[in-house]
Chain A
Amino acid sequence: MAGEQAGIPDNSATTEVPPPERVTPTDLFVGFLQIGLYGFGGLAAISRHIIVEKRKWASEHDYAALFGICQALPGGNVINVATILGDRFCGLTGSIAAVVGLFAAPLVLLVLLATGYDQISDLPDVKVGAAAAAAAASGLVIGTAIKMMRALKFTARALGFVVLAFVCVAIIRFPLVPTLVALLPLSFAVTYWSRSR
C-alpha cells in the first residue's frame, strides 16, 4: 500500500499543508466518529472541517479533488471519502476503521430513536408531529435539489436530463437500475460530444 502510494507522482507542490507523518487506524476511527456524530442534516460541511482544518489529513485543494471524485461514484460521498482516505494512510484496515467509525454513533442513535418512537407513536401529539415531520422531510429533499441546481447553473441540455430522470422515476415509476443504466451513458455521450466539438 505504501509502495503504491509512493509510485503515484507527488503533488505536494500544490498542497498547502503536508499531511501528518503518522495516522493510525484509531485516529481514522475517532476522526470519522466525530464526523458521523456532529453531522446533522448533511455531512459535507463537517467532514471538510474535521479532515482539512482539525486533523489536517488533506489540504483544501486535495480535499476538493477527492470529494469531487467521491460524489461521482456510487455510495454516500463521505463514506467514499472515508474509504479512500483510510486506504491512503493505513490500507484496507484504515478504510474499515474510517467507515465503521463513520457509522458507529449514528446507527446506535438511530436504533434508540426508532425504539423510543415506537413506544410513543400512538400518542396523538406524536402522530400529528410525525406526519408533519415526514411532510417537511420530503420538502427538504426537493429544496436541496433546487438549491444545487441553482448553484450549478445548468444549460438547457443538462436541464433536459434533470426532467428526463425525474419523469422516468417519479411519474412513470420506472425502477432505478434500468433508468440509470440508460440515462448515465446517454448523458455522458451527449456531454462528451458537445465538449469535443
Chain B
Amino acid sequence: MNESVLLRLIIMYTTLSLVSVGGAPTIIPDLHRQVVDVYGWMTDRKFAETFALAQLAPGPNLNVTSLIGWQVAGLAGLLVSTVSIILPASALAFGVGRVWQKLESSHWFPSFKAALPPVVLGLMAASGFVTATVAVHDWLGVVFAAGAAVFTATTKRNPLWAIAAATIFAILAARLGIV
C-alpha cells in the first residue's frame, strides 16, 4: 500500500503547495476533505487531534502537513509530505525573490496585494469553521472554541494560552464530575 499512499501524498501536497496563499489555514479545509473524506486515511477525531498537536509545537504552521504524513505513512510519509508542501511554493518564491524589486514597482502589484487578504481571510475563517465542526462535540466544546476565538481576537497574548486553559479546565471539570 505504501508506495501508492506516498505518491498520493506527493500529488496532494504539491498541488496544495501552489495554492497555499496565507499558509496552513488556507489549505486545512481541503486537507480535511482529502485526508478524511476522499482517502479515509484518518478519522475526524484523529484529524482534529493532529491539528491541535501541530499547534502546540513550535515552527511554521505548515508542519501540520508533515505530521499528517507521519501518521499516514511513517518517516517516509513525513519526509515526502514536508518536501512536497515546501518545494513548489519555495521554488516560486526563489524566482520571485530574484525579480522582486521589479515586481514591487509594477503598477498592478498594489492591486494584487490588496486583492489577496479578503480571499485569504475568508479561507482562514473557513478553516476554523471546518476544524470546529470536526472538533466540537458538545456545549463545552462550543465554549472552548468561542472562548479561544474571543481571546485570540481581542488580546495580544500568545493564543496558546487559550488552548492550555481549555485543556486544564476540561480535565479538572471531568475529574471533579462537573461536566
Check B167–A79 contact: CB distance below 8 A: no
Distance to closest chain A CB from B62 (angstroms): 5
Q: Mark B32-63, 1 if CB is under 8 A from A, else 0.
A: 01000000000000001111111111111111
Residues of B within 8 A of A160 (CB): 118
Using A137-B135, A139-B147, A169-B29 as known contacts, say yes or no to A113 and B53 having CB atoms under 8 A apart. Answer: yes
CB 8 Å contact bits of B148-169 with A (1 = contact, 0 = none): 1111111000111011011111
**Identity of the chain B residue whose Cβ is nearest the Cβ of A109 in the assembled complex:** B57
Query: B93 an interface residue at 8 Å Cβ cutoff?
Result: yes
CB–CB B15/A165 < 8 A: no
B76 within 8 A of A: no
Pair A76/B60 contact, Cβ less than 8 Å? yes
Asked if A192 contacts B111 (CB within 8 A), the reply is yes
**Does A177 have its Cβ within 8 Å of any Cβ on chain B?**
yes
Which residues of A60-75 are within 8 A (CB) of B?
65-66, 68-75
Within 8 A of A (CB), among B64-110: 66-67, 70-71, 78, 82, 86, 88-90, 92-94, 96-98, 100-101, 103-104, 108, 110
Is the Cβ of B94 less than 8 Å from the Cβ of A95? yes
Within 8 A of B (CB), among A140-197: 140-150, 152, 154, 158-166, 168-170, 173, 175-177, 179-181, 183-184, 187-188, 190-192, 195
Query: Could you say which of A111, A163, A173, A191 contacts B122, with CB atoms under 8 Å apart?
Result: A163
- Known contacts A111-B78, A150-B153, A188-B115, A78 near B60 by CB under 8 Å: yes
Q: Is the CB of A134 within 8 A of B48?
A: yes
* Cβ-defined contact, B61 with A42, below 8 A: yes
List B contacts of A39 (CB < 8 A): 58-60
Total contacting residues, chain B, CB less than 8 A? 109
Please name all residues of chain A whose beta carbon is closer than 8 Å to the beta carbon of B152 when the two chains form the complex. Answer: 139-140, 142-144, 146-147
Contact B89 A79 (CB under 8 A): yes
Nearest Cβ in chain B — how far from A173, in angstroms? 7
B5 contacts the other chain (CB 8 A) = no
A120 at the interface (CB under 8 A from B): no
Could you say which of A66, A133, A144, A169 contacts B159, with CB atoms under 8 Å apart?
A: A144
Q: Does B125 contact A (CB under 8 A)?
A: yes
CB contacts (< 8 Å) of B66 on chain A: these are: 103, 107, 110
Distance from B103 Cβ to chain A, minimum over Cβ atoms (Å): 7
Complex CA–CA separation, A8 to B125 (angstroms): 39
List, sorted by A's number, 29 A–B pairs whose CB atoms are closer than 8 Å: A69-B100, A72-B116, A74-B21, A75-B20, A76-B62, A84-B100, A87-B94, A103-B66, A113-B57, A125-B171, A125-B175, A130-B167, A132-B171, A135-B148, A136-B144, A141-B28, A141-B131, A143-B148, A143-B159, A143-B162, A146-B153, A148-B117, A158-B117, A161-B122, A169-B122, A170-B126, A176-B30, A184-B115, A184-B119
